[in-house]
Amino acid sequence: MTIRESMEQWERENLSPYASLSSESLGRDREEPPCDIRPDYQRDRDRILHSKSFRRLKHKTQVFLAPEGDHYRTRLTHTLEVSQIARTIAKALRLNESLTEAIALGHDLGHTPFGHAGEYILNEICGEGFSHYKQSVRVVEVLEKNGKGLNLTKEVRDGILNHRTSGNPATMEGKVVRYSDKIAYINHDIDDAIRGKIIKETDIPKEYSDILGRTVKERLDIMIHDIIFNSLEKPSIYMSPEVDRAMKGLRQWMFENVYKNPAAKSEEGKAQQLIVRLYEYYFAHVEQLPEEYRMLMEQRGESKERVVCDYIAGMSDSYAIDQFEELFVPKAWKV
């Protein structure tokens, strides 16, 4: 028996009857020989962690554009916090931690530079539309490894696609990540907004803080415990009605007081115009796209709109700014 087979046997003997077993995966689009050490979901987790798109998340905006300070979240630190929360819940419920972590690490790979402001404007200007959750799947299916993709299992791709609020993941592990994403961003965005003097902890309405707590630590503890104890030995993931209502109310309050706050969003218009100019330029000069993107059009028949979107969506904030300066900002004359 290989190490992988013994790990798969351990899953069958110890995980919840509602967990996704590595040995029962629906598989990959392209069949591969099994690894002698790692079950399939662990292989997927490793592939995502070693991908270029994962590394670029460290220079992509979470909420605050180009913040001055080392402690504001980026898209990468958000992803790691989602993963930590999701693994805590999955372990307590005896679900598949490797599948949970793979979905969590991959859920935002398709996010644009400049956060949701970048996503919004790309959706506006691209005739084929744009959404980060679909782009995250496209990254792992097509864009990584020069058009070959990462060839992940169907369960991981389903969880990535359905992590959004309106999503309905097919696995318990995907459902855990869907909740964990909200728990993570609500709490760390509050922390960042307080650090940025956008809000104070005491600004949060008492109707939410009385239920969820008055610090990030308290809120995380209460929300995570609530999910675990309401989901034990059940075929889905649940919050208690009281905590669920309070979390949704707090999320809406965040939209009104942080995500749409002029102080936090003062540079978004500039960032969106930057993306528009880059899109228009590369749409008119596709020959200047990197070879791996041109190959998508030449070998796969991908549309110009989609490939230009792919290139811009893959940029980090700093790279997008550098490209804009290179193309549109005049340089001093040098002899």
- Where is 16: in which H helix or E strand? none
Average pLDDT across each block of 10 residues of the chain; the chain has 335 residues. List them in order. Answer: 97 98 98 97 98 96 72 92 98 98 98 94 96 98 95 98 95 98 96 93 97 97 98 97 98 93 81 96 97 94 96 96 94 71
Q: What is the pLDDT of residue 266?
A: 75
- Contact partners, residue 253, CB within 8 Å, separation at least 6: 204, 205, 208
Q: What is the pLDDT of residue 69?
A: 66
Q: What is the pLDDT of residue 68?
A: 62
Distance CA 20, CA 96 (A): 6
Q: What is the pLDDT of residue 207?
A: 98
Tell me the two tokens of residue 198: 């956008």
Q: What is the pLDDT of residue 335?
A: 62
To the nearest 10 degrees (0 to 180), the angle between helices 75-92 and 97-106 is: 160
Q: Which segments of the chain does DSSP mark as H helices, in order?
A: 3-14, 40-49, 52-56, 75-92, 97-106, 115-125, 132-138, 144-147, 154-161, 172-195, 206-212, 216-231, 241-254, 268-284, 291-300, 304-313, 317-328
The phi, psi pair for 269, rounded to 5°, reads -60, -40
Which of 282, 311, 281 is closest to 118 using CA atoms?
311
Q: What is the pLDDT of residue 45?
A: 98
One-character DSSP codes across 147-211: HT-----HHHHHHHHT-STT---SSHHHHHHHHHHHHHHHHHHHHHHHHTTS--GGGS-HHHHHH
What pTM was computed for the model? 0.96
Distance CA 175, CA 171 (A): 6
Distance CA 264, CA 282 (A): 29
